Amino acid sequence: MTSLETERLRLRQFREADLDQYAAIVAEPETMTFMGGPRDRARAWMDIAWCLGHWTLRGYGLWAAEEKTSGRLVGRIGLLNPEGWPGLEVGWLVARSHWGRGLATEGGRASLAYAFGTVGAEHVISLIRPDNAASIRVAEKLGETRERETELFGAPALVYGTACAAAESAELGSDSI
Ligand SMILES: CC(C)(COP(=O)(O)OP(=O)(O)OC[C@H]1O[C@@H](n2cnc3c(N)ncnc32)[C@H](O)[C@@H]1OP(=O)(O)O)[C@@H](O)C(=O)NCCC(=O)NCCS
């Protein structure tokens, strides 16, 4: 299972020792506003198991995002495409304490480059709730554009997306891995 490094992040596999920090991140109500609400410790453990299982089954997945300078877990960033999903998604979730520093964009850029360069994807999407302005902004900064609307777990979601050629012309990843 691959790890990546960006300027400030180590994108690596989750481990069980991440549980305390990950559970604290997903227990924070504001962070989870657009992700179904805060999650308890047991659900956080299942998230970690889900991320690792996705890697095993698909050969790619979400990474634990660790801040290189502190070694602290600051979120989860990477790729997901579980059964029934509308496409290969690049996704991001950053600890509330670390918002606004460009970390989701930095990790998302490396993830997109991995999707196109290593996984061999031709098109990548991001599924975003219409009111999640920060996430829409991250998608736009990565060169994704709004493609259509869909429904996710019974609620509206926007599909942002980009094709490999568009990402290459934006020179995604050239300075990030
Ligand atoms: C969405 C999220 C990952 C962004 O993480 P981040 O590391 O703060 O993102 P970045 O700093 O790379 O970029 C955020 C951008 O959104 C902008 N932004 C933040 N809040 C905003 C708001 N309310 N309205 C409009 N833009 C906003 C920032 O200004 C920044 O854009 P800029 O660089 O042009 O100034 C983070 O807010 C988060 O984890 N949210 C909860 C989980 C979540 O909703 N994940 C996405 C599910 S689709």
**75-86 pLDDT, tens digit each:** 999 999 999 999
d(CA 175, CA 177): 6
Instruction: Reply yes or no on domain 4-169 having CATH 3.40.50.1100.
Output: no
Among candidate residues 107, 102, 111, 118, the one with its CA nearest the CA of residue 162: 111
For atom 42 of ligand 1, the residue with the nearest CA is 93
Give pLDDT, residue 140: 98
pLDDT grade for 177, boundaries at 50, 70 and 90: very low
Q: Where are the domains of the chain?
A: 4-169
Atom of ligand 1 nearest to the CA of 105: 12
Residue pair 160/171 in contact (Cβ under 8 Å)? The answer is no
Token pair of 82 as six digits: 């579980």
Give pLDDT, residue 175: 41
Residue pair 111/126 in contact (Cβ under 8 Å)? The answer is no
Give pLDDT, residue 99: 98
* pLDDT tens, position by position, 20-43: 999 999 999 999 999 999 999 999
User: How many angstroms does the Cα of residue 76 sit away from the middle of ligand 1?
Assistant: 14
